[in-house]
Amino acid sequence: MYQGPNQWLQKLRLDKLLDLSKDAANGPQVLLRVQAKTADYTVLAQDSGTIFVTYGDTGAIVFTLPAVPTKGLFFLFFQSTDQNITINSAAANGIITFNDLDADGVAATTSSGKIGALFLVFADGNIWNAACLSVGTTMTVTT
């Protein structure tokens, strides 16, 4: 039985996604985990919930997802510079994305369409799922 729009929120564990900390001067704060990467990086399961940014990179960056798509793991990738960004599965054909059931990776590589590219990647327990959330970014799918 449908219980309203907040039904799914009851299952969301915000403490796993957010750093709920207190600041003596300002009271409670909600902080997202943000990590800057300037070189290729193999994403770890314990990075789940992290927003990866590429501020400061001087070349293309490749993120490789964990080998096992454990249900509930998720990551955000934000391209902060005018460089290529690629998110690859550790296994061949390990990503479902726009119009492709067995992609190897997704990327933002189109000139004048890289800065601000935002990708959401999550695991459903069987495979990685990837979506480009930014308007105007051309997502390249690798197979």
Q: Where are the domains of the chain?
A: 8-142
Quick: pLDDT tens for 82-140: 999 999 999 999 999 999 999 999 999 988 889 999 999 999 999 999 999 998 888 99
Q: What's the full length of the chain, in residues?
A: 143
Is the pLDDT reported for residue 12 higher than 50? no
Quick: pLDDT tens for 18-76: 555 566 666 666 678 999 999 999 999 999 999 999 999 899 999 999 999 999 999 99
Amino acid type, 1:
M
pLDDT band at 9 (very low <50, low <70, confident <90, very high): very low
| Contact (Cβ atoms closer than 8 angstroms) between residue 76 and residue 120 | yes
CATH of span 8-142? 2.60.120
| Whole-angstrom distance, CA of residue 84 vs CA of residue 96 | 20
pTM here is 0.80
Cβ-based neighbours of 101, under 8 Å, separated by 6 or more? none
pLDDT for the residue 122: 97
pLDDT for the residue 31: 76
Is the pLDDT reported for residue 11 higher than 60? no
Q: What is the mean pLDDT of residues 9-19?
A: 46
pLDDT for the residue 21: 59
State in Å, rounded, how far the first CA of the chain is from the last one. Answer: 40
Look up residue 4 and give its two tokens.
Answer: 């309203």
